[in-house]
Structure 1
């Protein structure tokens, strides 16, 4: 059964135009073709990225955060309470009826229970320094990847004439620069997927996972089916705006509001140009219209375009958030990244001024509100 499934999966009619087989893509006459086995190197590269990232965050990002003045907010800790802690593990926002039940079980007032959950949620929210370290790592990668992508493509004929993407397809020899650009990009996205559960979670957490998975599938499929030329174009378009966003986040965490705002405007402009204009009217037109002028449509053609449309739907979703933030920015109402959770205001009252015998509250100082941040 496994052999049958394997043979069906690699059936040439799924991956290649009808008049070609895998035998046509064997290395010969000086031509070197991409092979599925090449993709295995992306996994050790992903773990190498994780190691490099760990070293970078400790020895580069953390000192840089101090230089730029990134400081964590002082957060009050919720007093240890087994009853409330057990409930918190399954539900972080109890309903009114649940608050009353917890009040009786913990011997706290309802007000004290509400305050305990508010402080407990704030404890779990990531610190500014953690966010800064993540943003600075992604900024370095996307900047270097964009420069490398332009260097790989700038002298290629298909960079200016998209019809060259499909010239002699799929009998197109693989270049060493394309190999490393692909493998390093794939390794990076694997590392993002491996770390997604431990990185800062935002409201578009599910969309981020979909994006990483779709990107990994696209890179892997385009490699095996020799869609390498258009694949490099897709990669460089995605890297062209991301480093502006990450740099805007870095300066936001440092409190450099004007610099953050200016970088966000640049990011929004580049994002709309590349993802909402160039991607559908340049890349999707290239992958949807030009191939059928040479070959009859086949499964791989439809599958590749379907995955590109998944990315485009995510682009539209994020463009909606970005334009919403831009509107609030222009009207002076933007307070923080639409995708981010914010610390909740903790205002002490008579019930919380001193610790009780049951450990209701750890202290009576108020939390500083973190709502003034304009970007995540």
Structure 2
């Protein structure tokens, strides 16, 4: 309590301590050790050391295990190369093995700290009789093993915060987890400096047992490893029907050549690229979506339907047809008067007599009609679509029918392996493009050059996907700066 004189208002003995006890009574002396507030600062240094230890454990234990067990891609280098890569900011990557290694680290730490906690607590009186935690309080000697347990455990939560803010996989609840870890550190600090370390020690040990049981952590490791395989299996089943159609089409063409007869062509007019398997895409695709994307249904551009009614976007046309299908005149009126897309979206949520089964039968055709109207009436968007050539178009939306199942701001949207939607919206655009390319012509080289310029802008700013290589380099730089600042 070196700063006691300047913080008398905070460290009031009447508030913090029982009667007839002063701060001077709680200074370590004569072989009796009491917890001191300044000692809690060591936890930050321990947090940095634990972070470095984690990187070493992942590199020399988890990476070899993952490599030898086939969980990692052997084509990306030898085992020594993978270890070297992991040590030099490879731990900041986004490989499919990353989640497994993160979980394995937590499992290893919690297992060790749980065993250590029982060992340290075995001869403490409060382990068998919790009332001892309050007997003769606060005059309790702080054993050195308990002091180290507090410092290491608090340092571990500091390391979790460091990793969440720098190189851990950004899960949907990473902000909540960071707040949770900070709250845990505050509680540990209060129990340590408030001289109720025995209660805090027991509570922390019970929390480890309750929240991070070994069997649960082990199960999570196995689930993370199998999750990707399960996604692939489900997606292959969904696409099997499309593959069979392509086979029938090929057979029809061969039989037609042999018999000189034109047989019925299956799905005639469909773009070949629309039938691609997600596994075959690699990185050759554009992510469509958002209010700034001209190919997106949500892009604000006025179109006119067959009845001469103007709509501010193809999406509003889609919603208008939905209200019209179920005879909701009030909703149609609100849609036409809505000043922005948010108001229009709220209106369509309350369509009277809406039947999802009825709508499912017609929504594909209405979606296609809205996109077709936009392409027919807005030439520069039509030009832009044609110049995408045969690149696969993926609608980044949580809609499992029209989209890939992921919004553009999610990391999973950049990786086809995670897609679990049908992407019918993207297939509609690819089929319309296939149809337009047969007859489309530019009005001179100037129009084509302007469209090419627009295409490059779209690829750079709107259809841009996060490049894992560049992101890792940037992230590695941030982590390196982080270490330099700390050291």
Measured against the shorter chain, the TM-score band is 0.5 to 0.7
Deviations 1:2-23 (A, max 9, x none): 9886332222233322432211
Aligned counterpart, 2:65: 64
Q: Report what 2:180 is aligned to.
A: 211
Q: CA offsets, 1:34-59, max 9 Å, x none?
A: 11121121111111111111112222
What residue in structure 1 maps to residue 318 of structure 2? none
2:192 maps to what in 1? 223
The equivalent of 2:301 in structure 1 is none
Residue 349 in structure 1 maps to residue 427 in structure 2: yes
Partner Cα distance (1:143, 1:350) in 2: 52
Quote the Cα distance in structure 2 between the aligned partners of 1:203 and 1:254: 19
Q: Which residue does 1:186 correspond to in 2?
A: 154
Change (3 A) 1:182 1:249: same
Closer, same or farther: CA 129–352 of 1 in aligned 2, 3 Å: farther
Work out whether 1:131 is the aligned partner of 2:106: no
Return the match for 1:200 from 169, 186, 197: 169
The question of 1:249 aligning with 2:249 is answered: no
Q: Establish whether residue 17 from structure 1 lines up as the match of residue 18 from structure 2.
A: yes
Instruction: State the Cα distance separating 1:350 from its structure 2 match.
Output: 6.8
CA gap 1:210/1:5 in 2 versus in 1, 3 angstroms: farther
Q: Is the 8 A contact 1:70 1:253 kept in 2?
A: no
Alignment partners' CA distance in 2, 1:345 and 1:65: 26
Change (3 A) 1:350 1:66: farther
Q: Give the aligned CA root-mean-square deviation in angstroms.
A: 3.3
Local SS of the residue matching 1:254: helix
Distance of 1:190 and 1:15 partners within structure 2? 26
1:157 maps to which residue?
125
Structure 2, unaligned stretches of length 5 or more?
74-92, 229-409, 413-417, 438-451, 465-487
**In terms of Rg, which structure is larger?**
2
Q: How does 1:36-185 map to 2 (within 5 A)?
A: 36-71=37-72, 126-185=94-153
Structure 2: how far apart are the matches of 1:230 and 1:54?
32
Report SS of the residue matched to 1:148: helix
Contact 2:27/2:36 (<8 A) preserved: no
Aligned residue pairs, count:
227
Tell me if structure 2 keeps the 8 A contact 1:135–1:250: yes
Aligned counterparts of 1:254 and 1:181: Cα–Cα separation in 2: 32
Q: Separation in 2 of the partners of 1:152 and 1:7?
A: 35
CA distance in 1, matches of 2:117, 2:6: 36
- Distance, in Å, in 2 between the alignment partners of 1:145 and 1:206 is 25
Q: Which runs of 4+ in 1 moved over 4 A?
A: 2-5, 350-357, 359-362
CA deviation map 1:235-265 (0-9, x unaligned): 11122141443322211122299xxxxxxxx
3-state DSSP of counterpart to 2:32:
coil
Is the Cα contact below 8 Å between 2:103 and 2:221 reproduced in 1? yes
